[in-house]
Structure 1
Amino acid sequence: MNKLKGVLPVLLLGNLLCMMDVSIMTIVLPEIQSAFGESLTELSWALNVYTIIFATLIIPFGRLAERFGQNKFVFAGLVVFGTGSLLTGMAPNLVWMLIARAIQSIGAAAIIPTSMVIGLDLSSMANRNRVVAALAGVQGLAVALGPTIGGIVAQYFGWRWVFFINVPLVILDLLVFDFVLPLRHEKTIHVKIDWLGAILSMIMLFSLSLGLIKGNDWGWQSPVILGLFGSSLVGFLLFLFWERHTTVPMVDLQLFRSRNFNGSSLSLVLCNFFLGGMAVLLPTFLTRVHGTSELKAALLMTPYSVTVMITVILTSLVIKHINNKIIVAAGFLLMGVSYLLLSTVPLGSNYHQLILADILLGLGYGLVAATANILAVADFHGSRLTSSQSVANVLRQVGMVLSIAVFTTLLTSNVTQAKRNTLAEAQTRVNQLANVNRTQKQTLTRKLRRKLNPNSATVTSTSATFSSPKITVSTATRQHKTTAAYHQAIKQIATAKQVSLTMIPQAMKQKVHHTISLAVNRKITQKVNQLDQELASLVHTIRHTLKHHLNHAFLNVFGTLSWLPFAALLIVPVFKFRHEA
């Protein structure tokens, strides 16, 4: 136990950094987009490549660690992850960033599953629940903390420090590492590696992850996406067939004879799915729709992070005394209520309901994740313990990948409809403008169609997209109108006095010209001001309309899926009545 106290902080820090980088980019994507000049669709690969490679390598890396030494494997993973973080922060363009993020994810895949096994090997049966809850809980906490930490760091130091901040923390972890987890004379297990099983699992997970993430962009019925899903299905069937017949399986299928493991597997997928929905949508919702700063958006999501941390700790302490099914059921119910609240967040600046939804989602996630992570390993020891952790970690990532795919697809459809509705209402208001001529109306319409392109899934900022066009009248135009009015006035004076134009005194002509010039310019300025006010009112109305429609575009995603946490209650009977510790 004393040794575990020294080891656990090292493992927790590594897990925190790796999982935080799953979501930390979400809040700084607009800044990186501006820096690189790339579309958000292309830039989203910086998120996708991390998740896809991470999920793909977890299972084979879990077995490789047994052969080469678990301590060495985690140490090497920290070095690789730290190097990838440094390179990501230095990235001058998107290609560099994608390669650096891939390096990061390779390091993360080496750290996450092996850390759990190391922690469990050093723990006794009495404190196993706390170790599992701590390591698994910090992973969920890290995903939730990602946007918060990212927003704070980016606000004061710039987006590159979102990645640079990992480097000193990794170095600190490495300096302490050898004192608590010796790298020399480490015990290794000379097991045969199921290379075919590893390749099949990688094909299956890579195809599934890529297909889910890019299905919306490439088309769900496109040959590429159908081919990826077909490849994933074939890989899965071949993987099952091979694992049933090989003597050294990559994943021991006997795991699935445990009711606790099956219930935990389904619960981990779903609770991380619900977590991912919040982490994916809320940062963009707050910054692009409500116009909050990254820092404020981060602070508004902080209650969730704090609640997860507290709930995971408390759940690990009380799980032996409360029916496991009650804990899991309560967790899914709280997440369902949270989604219902998120679906009706008011349009104004009062975020009390959002904060309450954050807290309830944190409570629900903490209850389900902590219980599922503890029960996932409850029935296993030795190599099966390693396999159970690898599979559990993959399922967490599958939940995140599913959330990115499903929530992004629903949001894209909603945003497209929101833009169409806004454009239709804006067109009607443009046609109703009284002081704008036909040419000016056509120009306004073209500008609106360009800004509110329904064919683009990009979330249009309600605060910066539209600016009121300024009406200006050139000096030449003013002079022309003044001259025309002057000549007309002089003719009227000549007619009234029954004299020729040449007989009008020059002093009178100058006085008339001055008077006419003042009157004409005053009338032009008055009309310009009137038109400016009319256009400013139009722009204000369009902004409000867009904000209203985009607000509902985001919130309707939560509303559409609010039934799912309640349906997840069907998983509860899968668990054994009570886990006997």
Structure 2
Amino acid sequence: MKKVRTVLPILIIVNILCMIDTSIMTIVLPEIQTAFRTSLNNLSWALNIYTIIFASMIIPFGRLSDKLGKNKFIFTGLLIFGIGSLLTGISPNLPFMLVARGLQSLGAAMIIPTSMVTAMELTDDHNRNKTIGILAGSQGLAVALGPTIGGLVAQFWGWRWVFFINVPIIVVILLIFNLVLPLKKELIQKTVNLDWLGTIVSMLVLSSFSLALVQGKDWGWGSFPLISLLLTALVAFIAFILIENKVANPMINLELFKDRNFTGSALALVICNYLLGGFAVIIPTFLTKVYHHSELSAALLITPYSIAVMFSVIFSSLAIKKVNKKIMLATGFILMGIAYYLLSKLNLDHGSLPLIYAGIVLGIGYGIVASTANILAASNFHGQLLTDSNSVANVLRQVGMVLAIAIFTSLLTNNVKTAKANLIEYGHRQVAELQIPSVAKRKLNQTIKQKLNPNINNISQNKETFNKTHLTIPARKIQALKDQNYQLAIQQTAATKGITSDELPEPLKKQIKIKVDQIVDHKVRAETTLISTSIENFVKKFKRMIKHQLKAAFLKVYKTMIWIPFLSLLVIPIFQFKKRH
């Protein structure tokens, strides 16, 4: 146990570093988008590629570590992750960043499953649940803390330090690593035979399925490329099952799924991480785009949620031996359902407390479910099955995050497109009722259509949308009006005197000219003021409608998903809990 106390802090830190990078980018995406001058759609791949590669490689790397040595594997993973973090931070453009993020993800996939198994191998049966709970909880906490830490770092040092900050920490860990986990004379399993065919096929399943989920909103769910990817994933999955049933040393021992606790935990982990991802991906954007919070302000508002996850994980890990596990899982899912109900009704117009309450409830619920499911997933296994159970559990957590990124952003994109279409229709209808010149109406309608184009993937309320929309009467038109009125005044004056216009004295003409110009200028100012006031009132009203529609688009996502945590209660009967005697 003394050895575990020395090793566990290092493993916790590296787990947090790896998992925090699955969500830390969400809060700084707008800054990076501006820096790279790219669309938010393209930039989302910097987030997606990390999750996809991580999910695809975590199982084969878990097996490969047994053959090469777990300590060496973790050390190498840290080195790769550190290099990837440095390269991501110095990225000059998006393609460079995608490659660097992929390198980061490879390092993380080497570290996570190997560190989990290393910790459990050093732990006795009596303390195993506590160790699993601490490591799994640290991973969930890291995902929850990602946007908060990202916002804090970006506010003071810029978005690049969101990635640079990993480098000094990793350097320190690498320097002391050999003192804690010796690289020499490490016991390895020379007889481990890798199932390369199963590995390749599993990667094909995960990568094609993940890519389909991520791209569905852009390609269209009925498009040929998307259907092809889903069919590829399905065929590869069936092939994977057949391969794993026949090979002597399968990559995943399918015996795992004969254990009801593991099967139940697998479903629970996918669901709770899906619900976690729905919060981590959507809320930062909601705060910055709808309510115009800074990254730092948004980060601070999410912090109570992160703290709730931390304390919930600690409590659940300690309470799992004393509290009925069915009650714990049910409580966790119900709390997440309540949180989604609160999120669907979120109103921050009078303060941020509703978000803080919803975040705390969600954090507590997630911590209970994730901690309990992680412990139960490995509760009946030892040796290679223990390694496999943790690798698969980690994959399923990532599958939940990929599902959240794909489905929540897809729903949000569709909701925003609908909101924009509604706003355009509403705007044109309101403009038609304004008592302003037709040229001003055309200008307003053009601005509305341009700024709220449903085909442009932009979810910003954009405070500057109508700031430059005002009527200016061209100088040539004003001069023409003055000339016209001057000629009319000259003719009228000459007629009253019984002479022609040419016979009027020049001084009198100048007086008439000055007076006419003054009258026209006064009328133009009055008319312009009246028109500008009408336009200003319309713009204020329309901006309120934009905020209302965008807010509804975000909250509708949670209304659509509110049934999932409650339906998840059906997972609980799958578990087979041992009765205490």
What TM-score, normalized by structure 2, do the two folds share? 0.96
Check conservation: 1:347, 1:548, Cα contact below 8 A.
no
Check conservation: 1:323, 1:577, Cα contact below 8 A.
no
Check conservation: 1:275, 1:365, Cα contact below 8 A.
yes
Aligned to 1:227: 228
Q: CA deviation at 1:458?
A: 2.5
Aligned to 1:481: 481
Check conservation: 1:468, 1:535, Cα contact below 8 A.
no
Residue range with higher mean Cα deviation, 163-172 or 485-494: 485-494
Provide the rounded CA distance (Å) in 2 between the counterparts of 1:327 and 1:551.
Answer: 33
Check conservation: 1:327, 1:368, Cα contact below 8 A.
yes
Check conservation: 1:325, 1:578, Cα contact below 8 A.
no
Provide the rounded CA distance (Å) in 1 between the counterparts of 2:579 and 2:3.
Answer: 27
Residue range with higher mean Cα deviation, 392-401 or 165-174: 165-174
Q: Which runs of 5+ in 1 are unaligned?
A: none
Check conservation: 1:151, 1:295, Cα contact below 8 A.
yes
Q: CA deviation at 1:269?
A: 0.4
5 Å-filtered alignment, 1:84-123, equals 84-123=84-123
Q: CA deviation at 1:159?
A: 1.4
Aligned to 1:263: 264
Q: 1:391-447 deviations in whole A, cap 9, x for unaligned?
A: 00000011111112221222222111111111110010111121222x432332232
Q: Secondary structure at the match of 1:126?
A: helix
Aligned to 2:515: 515
Which portions of structure 1, spanning 4 or more consecutive aligned residues, are displaced by more than 6 angstroms?
A: none
Provide the rounded CA distance (Å) in 2 between the counterparts of 1:466 and 1:121.
Answer: 62
5 Å-filtered alignment, 1:362-381, equals 362-381=363-382
Residue range with higher mean Cα deviation, 252-261 or 57-66: 252-261
Aligned to 1:563: 563
Check conservation: 2:117, 2:387, Cα contact below 8 A.
yes
Q: CA deviation at 1:478?
A: 3.2
Q: Secondary structure at the match of 1:127?
A: helix
Q: 1:150-192 deviations in whole A, cap 9, x for unaligned?
A: 1122222221111111111211221221221111111111111
Report sequence identity in percent: 51
Q: 1:285-312 deviations in whole A, cap 9, x for unaligned?
A: 1111222111111111111100000110
Q: CA deviation at 1:46?
A: 1.1
Paired residue type of 2:31: E
Residue range with higher mean Cα deviation, 518-527 or 295-304: 518-527
Q: CA deviation at 1:218?
A: 1.2
Residue range with higher mean Cα deviation, 448-457 or 141-150: 448-457
Aligned to 1:431: 432
5 Å-filtered alignment, 1:461-472, equals 461-472=461-472
Paired residue type of 1:404: I
Residue range with higher mean Cα deviation, 16-25 or 476-485: 476-485
Q: CA deviation at 1:548?
A: 0.9
Paired residue type of 2:558: F
Q: CA deviation at 1:96?
A: 0.5
Q: CA deviation at 1:233?
A: 1.4
5 Å-filtered alignment, 1:43-192, equals 43-190=43-190, 191-192=192-193
5 Å-filtered alignment, 1:182-581, equals 182-190=182-190, 191-346=192-347, 348-437=349-438, 439-578=439-578
Residue range with higher mean Cα deviation, 198-207 or 487-496: 487-496
Provide the rounded CA distance (Å) in 1 between the counterparts of 2:537 and 2:579.
Answer: 64
Check conservation: 1:316, 1:371, Cα contact below 8 A.
yes
Q: 1:236-269 deviations in whole A, cap 9, x for unaligned?
A: 1121112122221111111122221111111100
Q: CA deviation at 1:349?
A: 4.4
Residue range with higher mean Cα deviation, 451-460 or 270-279: 451-460
Q: CA deviation at 1:119?
A: 0.9
Q: Which runs of 5+ in 2 are unaligned?
A: none
Provide the rounded CA distance (Å) in 2 between the counterparts of 1:342 and 1:487.
Answer: 67
Provide the rounded CA distance (Å) in 1 between the counterparts of 2:389 and 2:571.
Answer: 19
Q: 1:461-501 deviations in whole A, cap 9, x for unaligned?
A: 24233324132234443333223322322322222233444
Provide the rounded CA distance (Å) in 2 between the counterparts of 1:579 and 1:369.
Answer: 22
Paired residue type of 1:124: D
Paired residue type of 1:166: N
Check conservation: 2:333, 2:568, Cα contact below 8 A.
yes
Paired residue type of 2:349: G
Q: 1:67-117 deviations in whole A, cap 9, x for unaligned?
A: 111111111111111111111111111111111111010001001111101
Paired residue type of 2:158: G
Q: Secondary structure at the match of 2:469?
A: coil
Provide the rounded CA distance (Å) in 2 between the counterparts of 1:247 and 1:153.
Answer: 49
Paired residue type of 1:165: I
Check conservation: 2:337, 2:562, Cα contact below 8 A.
yes
